[in-house]
């Protein structure tokens, strides 16, 4: 069964509440087990980790947490996509990333959230109350190393975005964005050439540091040149070679 199908089935079962009774099995068979922080937790600690988690659903447009609010829980995304953003002093909004299945949201050692997070589609999450999670971490010091690795990965992703946004060419920005977003999706499914989310163009603009109009014109051009195709479920990358050329040239 392909990963995406497994995700769908897991989510169905999740909705029906099948896993609530045996939470340790829930984690052990979780679709994002291999790609998330949870995956670094050794099997013997799994039961305890499971017992702390709580499944959570978030509808499109709903906010999971706000920048600056007290960190009460941390989350692992199991399905769907969220946008992560900061409001800047001058009223502009900087989208700092998009969270996809397997991503960890919220930093347990910080008292306040570094960014806001809201759902771009229906999102399923695994919630861990911060206090319990911290205790769990402190009991098993080796898990701090796992958290450190995840944090370091995020640091490197942020540096990547920095390199992306410092590009002066809108066409290249857009091409690199599409490719790097695909790269992250491939963590779960190697074969993917369809990005399974409709990210509002305004969010792409605030991510890349462009205006909505420029983003729109670029997407229109790519579509006209048959490099991508925009459907109502997401973006299909039709010509990866062209896209790579545009990203590097």
Binding window for DNA (CB under 7 A); candidates: 29-37, 93-101, 199-207, 236-244? 199-207
129 binds, among its own copies, DNA, none (CB under 5 to 8 A by kind): none
What whole-number distance in Å separates Cα of residue 128 and Cα of residue 134? 10
What's the order of all strands across the beta sheet hosting 93-99? 63-65, 116-119, 82-87, 93-99
Q: Give yes or no for residue 214 binding DNA (CB under 7 A).
A: yes
Q: Hey, what are 62's tokens?
A: 């709903």
Place of tokens 């002066």: 168
88 binds, among DNA, its own copies, none (CB under 5 to 8 A by kind): its own copies
For residue 228, list its beta bridge partners. Answer: 237
Binding window for DNA (CB under 7 A); candidates: 35-43, 72-80, 150-158, 213-221? 213-221
Residue in 9, 152, 183, 245 binding its own copies, rule: CB under 8 A = 152
What whole-number distance in Å separates Cα of residue 118 and Cα of residue 58? 9
Report, in Å, the least distance between residue 119 CB and DNA. 12
Site string for DNA, 169-188 (x = CB under 7 A): xxx-----------------
Evaluate whether 119 touches 61 at the Cβ level (below 8 Å). Answer: yes
Closest CA to 81 of 114, 56, 59: 59
Q: Give yes or no for residue 151 binding its own copies (CB under 8 A).
A: yes
Q: Give yes or no for residue 245 binding its own copies (CB under 8 A).
A: no
Q: Give yes or no for residue 147 binding its own copies (CB under 8 A).
A: yes
Binding window for its own copies (CB under 8 A); candidates: 36-44, 163-171, 191-199, 232-240? 163-171
Strand (E) or helix (H) holding 229 = strand 228-230
HSE-CB for 31 with a 13 A CA cutoff:
29
148 binds, among DNA, its own copies, none (CB under 5 to 8 A by kind): its own copies
Binding window for DNA (CB under 7 A); candidates: 68-76, 127-135, 155-163, 216-224? 216-224
Q: Give yes or no for residue 141 binding its own copies (CB under 8 A).
A: yes
201 binds, among its own copies, DNA, none (CB under 5 to 8 A by kind): DNA
Binding window for DNA (CB under 7 A); candidates: 12-20, 41-49, 142-150, 196-204? 196-204
- Estimate the crossing angle of helix 170-185 against helix 240-248, to 10 degrees: 130
Residue partners of 88: CB distance under 8 A and separation at least 6:
94
Evaluate whether 223 touches 211 at the Cβ level (below 8 Å). Answer: no
Q: Give yes or no for residue 116 binding its own copies (CB under 8 A).
A: no
């Amino acid at each position: 069964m392909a990963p995406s199908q497994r995700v769908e089935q897991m989510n169905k079962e999740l909705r029906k509440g099948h896993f609530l009774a045996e939470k340790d099995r829930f984690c052990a068979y979780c679709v994002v087990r291999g790609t998330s922080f949870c995956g670094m937790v050794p099997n013997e600690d799994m039961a305890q980790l499971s017992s702390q988690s709580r499944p959570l659903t978030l509808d499109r447009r709903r906010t999971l947490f706000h920048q600056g609010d007290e960190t009460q829980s941390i989350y692992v995304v199991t399905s769907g996509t969220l946008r992560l953003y900061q409001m800047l002093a001058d009223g502009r909004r900087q989208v700092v990333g998009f969270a996809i299945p397997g991503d960890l949201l919220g930093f347990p050692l910080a008292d306040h959230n570094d960014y806001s997070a809201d759902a771009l589609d229906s999102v399923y999450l695994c919630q861990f109350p911060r206090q319990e999670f911290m205790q769990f971490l402190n009991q098993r010091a080796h898990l701090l190393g796992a958290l450190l690795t995840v944090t370091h990965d995020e640091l490197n992703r942020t540096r990547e975005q920095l390199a992306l946004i410092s590009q002066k060419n809108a066409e290249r920005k857009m091409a690199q964005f599409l490719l790097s977003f695909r790269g992250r999706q491939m963590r779960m499914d190697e074969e993917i050439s369809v990005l399974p989310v409709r990210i509002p163009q305004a969010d792409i603009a605030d991510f890349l540091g462009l205006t909505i109009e420029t983003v729109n014109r670029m997407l229109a051009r790519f579509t006209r040149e048959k490099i991508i195709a925009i459907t109502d479920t997401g973006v299909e990358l039709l010509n990866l070679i062209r896209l790579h050329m545009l990203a590097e040239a």
